[in-house]
Amino acid sequence: MTAVNVICPGKLKESYWREACAEYSKRLGAYCKLNIVELPEARISQKPTDGEIKAALAAEAKLIEPYIGLKGSYSIALCVEAKQLSSEELSQKIGDVAVSGASVINFIIGSSFGLDGSIKSACDLRLGMSRLTLPHQLARVVLLEQIYRAYSILNGGKYHK
């Protein structure tokens, strides 16, 4: 069974985000071993300078780096500027990665300022969820739903219509 890590900054504060994630986590249990890795968010001022943002992204990158490039892993950075895939294409990608021998798939969500360039470069794939800007709490829910949908498609489930 493939392990799926969703690596993201911060904790979900509101109960409705936690409940939505818990529901998809429960559903995904039939298809993969899901781990949600909540990393500390770098603290920055209310009106950060470019330097503060760059330093915060670099600090977050140091926490993400240990998950990338490990033998048997495939890492996907979620980036607004990246190529978008349909649900069917994401399903195919997950299936291809599993068949290629990867035992771990890492999905990496950035903080409110995105991901450091070093993380984007180190990942095997850059994936765009939407050209719209989403709060990272909502992005986590949408990502979990799409991973569930992808596994449902792969396994011939009725969830995807």
Q: What is the pLDDT of residue 157?
A: 87
pLDDT, tens digit, 9 for 90 and up, residues 81-115: 898 999 999 999 999 999 999 999 999 999 888 99
Query: 151-158, long-range: CB within 8 Å, 24+ apart, which pairs?
Result: 151/28, 151/30, 151/31, 151/32, 151/91, 151/94, 152/31, 153/87, 153/88, 153/91, 154/31, 154/91, 154/94, 154/95, 155/31
What's this model's pTM, rounded to 2 decimal places? Answer: 0.94
- Tens digits of residue pLDDT in 33-88: 999 999 998 888 899 999 999 999 999 999 999 999 889 999 999 998 898 999 99
Confidence of residue 161 (pLDDT cuts 50, 70, 90): low
Q: What confidence tens digit (pLDDT) does each residue in 112-135 have?
A: 889 999 999 999 999 999 888 888
- Whether the per-residue pLDDT at 150 is higher than 70: the answer is yes
What Rg do the C-alpha atoms of the chain give, in angstroms? 15
Task: For the sheet with 33-39, list strands across it.
Answer: 33-39, 3-9, 104-108, 73-78, 125-127
User: Taking all residues of the chain, what is their mean pLDDT, rounded to a whole number?
Assistant: 94
Is domain 3-154 classified as CATH 2.160.20.10?
no
CB-based contacts of 63, cutoff 8 Å, min separation 6: 39, 40
Domain boundaries, the chain: 3-154
Residue 39: beta bridge partners?
9
Which of 138, 161, 139, 141 shows the shortest CA–CA distance to 28? Answer: 141
pLDDT confidence of residue 142: 96
- Spatial CB neighbours of 91, under 8 Å, sequence gap ≥ 6: 149, 150, 151, 153, 154
